[in-house]
Amino acid sequence: MIQKEIISETDSVYNYMDGETVLGYLEIRLVDGVIDIMNLFVSEDSRRKGIATSLMNEMIEKEDYNRIMLEVNENNNEAIRLYSKLGFKEISLRDRYYGEDTAIIMEKVK
Q: What is the pLDDT of residue 39?
A: 97
> Phi and psi (nearest 5°) for 17?
-105, 145
On the 0-12 / 13-18 / 19+ scale of CB atoms within 10 A, 77 is exposed
pLDDT of residue 52: 97
Set out the domains of the chain in order of their start, with CATH numbers.
2-109 (3.40.630.30)
44-99 pLDDT, tens digit each: 999 999 999 999 999 999 999 999 999 999 999 999 999 999 999 999 999 998 99
Is the pTM higher than 0.85? The answer reads yes
Query: Using one digit for the tens of pLDDT, what is the confidence trace for 1-30?
Result: 999 999 999 999 999 999 999 999 999 999
